[in-house]
Chains A and B, each alone.
Chain A
């Protein structure tokens, strides 16, 4: 199967011409021979083809063992109840399909239906896990054979869903196909040791060993801080040291380390705000303490727990009153919500969103703000799924924007019904083979459509337009999406974080903090 952009849902102006559509590169013959790509001609995981039939058999046996563990209360206490409810009670009403932006935007390609993926796992569960399954499967007409091809394609298929859980929100019964995606990934990771390199080896493992999934070590982090202190001095004239490893501080602030490297203006903005507001906080230079990400949330319970415990342990050692999580959606959800049932005793350090925290500062009047400093642009807001639909943080970011930007407009739908940026579920950091092309053209399509729609009346490049995305992964996806379509050049739409907008409105800062240039 090959994907043809002509079958995707057409985009609004100025991208309503097929020639402006980025191509999904075909894999080379050598790549196709080496890696599994039979699902849709795309390879996200780069699963090598086994060398022998024995290797295939061994994989199948391990998968079956993992499948059985997935439905055992001791092995999978973490998600057994929601998973079993999903397996047993789906009535195939297809309501989830209408809510899934990947399915809809792809032009309704069947394999991208949320229920398609779950249907395969359900059949495997009913045949290989439930007693009498082999006979009943045949009788019910739902028989399925576990072959290596099926297994390999199921793995790939689990990386065609961003786990935004819009499908679960739309399900009248409460079935959760987003969870199924994660649970399939989990079998492969926790039993077969298979996961995309960027999530596991370069992700959680590197995070725990080296200190950050970016590869940044503690000394590297300290160098970055020095660089950013200098940059703030140059940009604003403000001269202050960032608090690092300050025992007894009120707050441990944890950013996604990707910010330090790709969008340093975001942690810089935080530093300026917190300094101006007189907040007693600290950053941590301890291993993993300066990187708030937790890629385990996308594929592996043990890695999720390890990273969460590491973060909580650092906060406990510093003796802070709370952890404030920077502008990173998945680290919000993983540490605040999911890890809530991992962190016990004195590891259960309170956790709070930076959106809430920043809103309190803005409302307190401790910053001198002039919204007119942001008046030269129209601003819209992207709701990161993890913060909004999956945590219920809806208003604080809006209150901040309304306080600092006079020209704010909502994209539709928004809030808890938002569309994913297309980089969720780990996608934004997975650059394998032609997967980024798919991520841009299919997964990110709904977000691009929303952004173009909200600014459609001023879409020409003479108007400055800003997409505020208070999440590091979302920004990564939006950067790649805008870059592939040339959105900044054609439409003059820039993207960035929320803290930067606040600093841009601060009257104590002479020059505009927000640079109107593509980076």
Chain B
């Protein structure tokens, strides 16, 4: 919370900061009310999501799981304001976004949501810091070049990559690229961090490191929702939602929650013992 707030403190215009803490705790970040999504492909209507209602409160860390075709990707696209639901209401940080037009959705994505993708989706041949600055380029409020750089550097610092600000994606490892992507997602101080299989392209140790970054951000107050199909990755979150056939099958708090620091320590010990033997 502290570090994210410190980024936000430099930015008095941002609405989140001015909100009283009590109100923030009572108002859900995500409130879905009977969300349905139907794709009209040819003659058959595909019901990808058939009636999902759920609430995500600030500071939650949610894993959405499910087999392919369960509707979790469609749900993520809806949550990410990349797509509009066919039916139902979606309140994001108190704003009804279910009926906004394309341009308004773009602004919501810019201000309220930070995306982290499986394939990192960084602009190649563009330095890490310029990638992080990208969302601010599309912010309507004028942000000076100096402020952009400062905020981007802070976001990179938050994910531990400030030293590599001028490296290009092809000079960074997969884990480092994903950290840059997370920094990019954080730079506009969103209400919600959405991650779509963020560890899908990473080896197990790097995956745990990235989960550590998410846990750290969540500890600081960031609301995180991620899609994953790996059970052990879901163990790092606080709440697991399992979907099947476009509906929520189970919605349970995570017991035996894993801590990334502890798991990394275990991994290092294991590696040491292998080397010793």
Are A and B co-members of a single complex?
no
Chain A contacts to B: CB under 8 angstroms: none
Chain B contacts to A: CB under 8 angstroms: none
